[in-house]
Amino acid sequence: MMVSFNVEDGRTVPEIVRCLAEQNYEESGVLQVFFNLNVKESLYVNNPDVRVYTMRDLEELIGYAVYFITEHPHFAGVKMAFNDVIYIKKEYRKIHAADFFMFCESNLDDGVQVIQHGMNYDQPHSKLMESLGYTPAEIMYSKVIS
């Protein structure tokens, strides 16, 4: 096992979709009961506000994280990193998850003041996040209306 963490860009998203998005989809949340996976790759590719990080075992893609960098909509001047998605293959999570989170965090843009991570209600990783210095901040609810 030769695991590496990498800074990539939005052009990596098609590879992520091919290799791991389906596995992530099968494990995640409640919305997959209502909707089929259909990643809008154009939101990521060549988007200057997207940060992509990957975890590889040799060349095999085994994990990824995507963040959107933007000014916080309620706090003018506060630069935020909103985590869109993070996924690590199950067999690598216990050993590498904390290190991958710290790698992503340390490679975000200069000036990022706050990082927000969501997580699936049925698969929380609260203990890990709190051990890395994150504080529970909000609870999000979803309702399918059509």
For 65-92, write each residue's pLDDT tens digit: 999 999 998 999 999 999 988 889 999 9
C-alpha pair distances (Å), 3 with each of 12, 59, 88, 97: 18, 9, 12, 12
pLDDT tens column, 29-46: 667 778 888 888 898 898
102: its two tokens: 């710290």
Q: Examine the pLDDT at 22 and tell me if it is beyond 80.
A: no
Cα separation, 34 vs 22, whole angstroms: 15
Q: Examine the pLDDT at 111 and tell me if it is beyond 70.
A: yes
Strand bridging mode 60-71 / 50-57? antiparallel
Q: Looking at the chain, list the stretches that DSSP marks H as alpha helix, in order from N- to C-terminal side.
A: 13-16, 22-27, 90-106, 126-131
Q: Quick check: pTM over 0.85?
A: yes
Mean of the per-residue pLDDT values of the chain: 89
C-alpha pair distances (Å), 143 with each of 28, 32, 120, 146: 16, 13, 15, 9
113: its two tokens: 């003041």
C-alpha pair distances (Å), 6 with each of 33, 36, 62: 32, 29, 12
Structural domains in the chain plus CATH codes: 3-131 (3.40.630.30)
